[in-house]
Amino acid sequence: MWWLYLPLRFEEFAVVLIIQESPDGFRTLNDCTRVWADGRVEQLGWPQVRMDYLSGTRRPRTAVLECVGADGQPIRLEVAALLEAPLHVGGGYGGDPDWTHGMWKGPGFAERVRYDMSAPEVAGREMFGVVDHVGHALLHEGVGADAVAHEGWGLFEHGALGRHDPSGFSDWFDLAP
């Protein structure tokens, strides 16, 4: 599964994008919507995504999305991934060997756990789940003298689990060149 979720807030609007693709790149989920402060909702079509991964990892550095506004004009969204938090390392998401949502550990159970993300036995788990990042975004729309750029912030959630042909990952262990 290849997953991208970007809820982003800009001064005048928010953009919420969610994409899921199968190993061959077939898009099984696609929604990209701009919600204006006055309540208007605008679909931004079928975004074309280019993901730049940090070499030797499956960690995204940036994503560039080419969208189309309701008026037919191009919209380019550039998002940088900052400050990562792997949800499946201690957070109970799928594949977490330490805890799973709903796991019973007895009455009154409470626990606090710290993870050293640089430890090889922990760092090696990162590519097997979805990772949340702080996302810094620039949205460009219009052309020529009418071009406008908007700055925003939000969540950059991504996972490339197993094979994903468009990313060049042929199996669970391939990494970006």
118 is a domain residue: no
Residue 124 lies in a domain: no
Q: What is the secondary structure of the chain as a DSSP string?
A: -EEEEEEEEESSEEEEEEEEE-TT--EEEEEEEEEETTS-EEE--S-EEEEEEPTTSS-EEEEEEEEE-TTS-EEEEEEEEEEEEETTSSS--TT-SS--TT----TT--------TTSHHHHTTGGGS-EEEEEEEEEEES-GGG-EEEEEEEEEEEEE-S-BGGGTB-STT----
Identify whether 52 is part of a domain. yes
Say if 30 falls within a structural domain: yes
- Smallest Cα–Cα separation from 63: which of 2, 129, 141, 124? 2
**Is 27 contained in some domain?**
yes
- Find the length of the chain: 177
The dihedral formed by the CA atoms of 100, 164, 81 and 54, expressed in degrees to the nearest 10 = 110
> pLDDT value at position 29?
97
- Under 8 Å between Cβ of 73 and 142: yes
CATH value at residue 50 = 2.40.370
Residue 29 lies in a domain: yes
Q: Residue 50 falls within a domain, yes or no?
A: yes
Residue 52, CA distances (Å) to 100, 128, 133 in order = 31, 18, 14
Residue 34: predicted pLDDT: 98
Would you state the pLDDT for residue 121?
Answer: 83
Tokens 């995504």, residue located? 49
Q: Look at residue 57 and tell me if it is in a domain.
A: yes
Range of the domain at 156: 2-86+129-167
**pLDDT means per 10 residues in the chain (177 residues)?**
97 98 98 96 96 95 96 95 86 75 87 86 82 97 88 97 96 94
Pairing state between β 41-43 and 27-36: antiparallel
Ordered strands of the 148-160 beta sheet: 41-43, 27-36, 13-21, 2-10, 148-160, 131-141, 74-86, 60-68, 48-53
Structurally, the chain folds into a number of domains equal to 1
Nearest to 12 by CA among 121, 141, 127: 141
